[in-house]
Amino acid sequence: MRTLYHFQFSPFSRRTRLALAQKGLKVELKEGRSNPAFLAEARKLWALRTMPVLVEEDGRALGDSNAIVRYLDAAYPTERALWPTAPEAVRTAGEVASLVDGALNLIIDVGTRYHALRGHAEWGTVQGELVGRAQAALDALGARAAATGPRPLTGTSPDDWCAADMWLFTAIAWLDGLPARAASGQSPLAGQLIALPWSIPAPLLRWCDPFRARDDVRALD
């Protein structure tokens, strides 16, 4: 059976799990935070040492959620497509996915990887520039969500849920859940992330609400 090494709460892992569910592909889940041995195994399989990592039934491994989800469409073309193919839908999906990844990576990098540099004299300037870019991306996504309304980004019905919707939903759900995780002590890094000057535009929260009740979303929480 194929295996997915993942982090339960990571938006990158969660969107990969949703993509596998949409394709109807069975997978054994190995959670890296609850079992350090799984994390060590995954890091040996993928040179970037990031999660998630998918191991196919033939033993070949592939990391990075973007690469994995693109691979799933190519490897399993008879199953439901994850990415759209019509030109305008491709443009929309690519824009959304790029903005989501840009915002997430900037917030995570500033709040975790660069956190030790916060005492530097230039920290305020650097933080303002990077988090400002993340907020601009969130604001652009908020404007698109406001224009789209409570439906998938590239379709007209709930059944048109595609990878871009997974990208956006999992990112906003994760960002929205950070204060509770910080308050519970569940994630020490969550406090560092919410201390940064970013916020979720209200249209994005409204856009997410209908998708929280999806069967695949609830099953993978």
Local confidence pLDDT in tens for the 221 residues of the chain: 899 999 999 999 999 999 999 999 999 999 999 999 999 999 999 999 999 999 999 999 999 999 999 999 999 999 999 999 999 999 999 999 999 999 999 999 999 999 999 999 999 999 999 999 999 999 999 999 999 988 898 877 777 899 999 999 999 999 999 999 999 987 889 999 999 999 999 999 999 999 998 888 887 76
- For CA atoms 90, 207, 15, 99, give the dihedral sign: positive
Amino acid letter for position 26: K
pLDDT computed for residue 66 by the predictor: 97
pLDDT computed for residue 90 by the predictor: 94
pLDDT computed for residue 177 by the predictor: 95
CATH code, residues 3-75: 3.40.30.10
User: Which residue is associated with the tokens 């995780």?
Assistant: 181
pTM of the predicted model, to two decimals? Answer: 0.95
Q: What are phi and psi of 122, to 5 degrees?
A: -95, 5
Report the C-alpha gap between 185 and 208 in whole angstroms. 25
DSSP letter, residue 76: -
CATH code, residues 87-219: 1.20.1050
pLDDT computed for residue 221 by the predictor: 66
pLDDT computed for residue 155 by the predictor: 78
Residue spans of the domains in the chain: they are 3-75, 87-219
pLDDT computed for residue 219 by the predictor: 78
pLDDT computed for residue 218 by the predictor: 84
The pair of three-digit structure tokens given for residue 69, joined into one six-digit string = 């989800």
Report the C-alpha gap between 110 and 192 in whole angstroms. 9
pLDDT computed for residue 167 by the predictor: 98
Q: What are phi and psi of 54, to 5 degrees?
A: -100, 130
> Do the two domains 3-75 and 87-219 of this chain adopt the same fold?
no
